[in-house]
Amino acid sequence: MKQTQRLEVPRSEKLVRTLASSIRVVRPRVVIESGTFLGTGSTRLILEALGATRPEAFYTIEVSPSLVEQARVNLAAFPWVQVVWGLSVTRREAIAFIESDPLLRDLDPELDIFVDFLPDPRSGYLNEIRCGIGGGDAQEAPEGVLVSLLIKHRADQPLITLDSAGGMGWLEFQIVRETMGDRPYLLFLDDINHIKHYRSKLTIETSEDFVVYGSDYEEGWMVAGHRIEQS
């Protein structure tokens, strides 16, 4: 078990190629991303992979008001990208999840994953939910934004990117699966070697509903299609 050292996905040629080729296969009409941070990590990688292709909508969700403003400046060259202020899930369900998560409760020190706030990650993740990252009054942020966007666009074969900070990844992944049901979508996970998406990775690898287009455990990412018809 290792202490996390980065906050955004580093640029990877392999990842950009995998995203670009999977976008050509799936042809998502909408992009929905959780965890904007500065808009210079996974958001920029998706934009690079899209190339000249412009989806009907591109949403990226960030809970910190100050980071929202910084991301909007950083993404000013892409005015069609909507930086949405809000919490991807409800604060109540996020707190309940972190308090009851068995992986956090019974941390295995031999598990080869990254975890934040060691030796007490639960307290650190709860503080992130309650106070946010990057300053500003995150307490006033709209809640449950991910579900509302998924419901609005679940017929659009979306590219869904889950990159929220902290211990939220497994919760967001379960919300995506429940909300999208049997509908097709493209999924990009950052931090599959982190506690937030380690279980999502294992689930995808063992599910007949997903096809993995590419992954790199060392770099920490996975791109997979759900219920995508193979030609």
Digit-coded pLDDT (tens) for 43-57: 999 999 999 999 999
Q: Is the preceding peptide bond at 119 cis, omega within 30 degrees of 0?
A: yes
Q: How far is 36 from 34, CA to CA, in rounded Å? A: 6
Percent of the chain past pLDDT 90, that is, above it, reads 75
Range of the domain at 144: 2-226
35, 165 Cβ separation under 8 angstroms: yes
Residue 70 domain flag:
yes
* CATH code of residue 182: 3.40.50.150
CA distances for 175 relative to 23, 68, 140, 200, angstroms: 22, 23, 22, 12
Mean pLDDT along residues 158-166: 90
Residue 41 domain flag:
yes
Residue 118 domain flag:
yes
Please tell me the total count of domains within the chain.
1
Residue 30 domain flag:
yes
Residue 130 domain flag:
yes
Residue 231 domain flag:
no
| pLDDT of the residue at 61 | 97
Structure pTM? 0.94
Residue 123 domain flag:
yes
**Placement of tokens 């919300």 in the chain:** 175
* Backbone φ and ψ of 178, nearest 5°: -70, -40
Task: For the chain, give percent helix, strand, coil, nearest 5.
Answer: 40, 20, 40
Residue 204 domain flag:
yes
164: confidence class by pLDDT, cuts 50, 70, 90:
confident
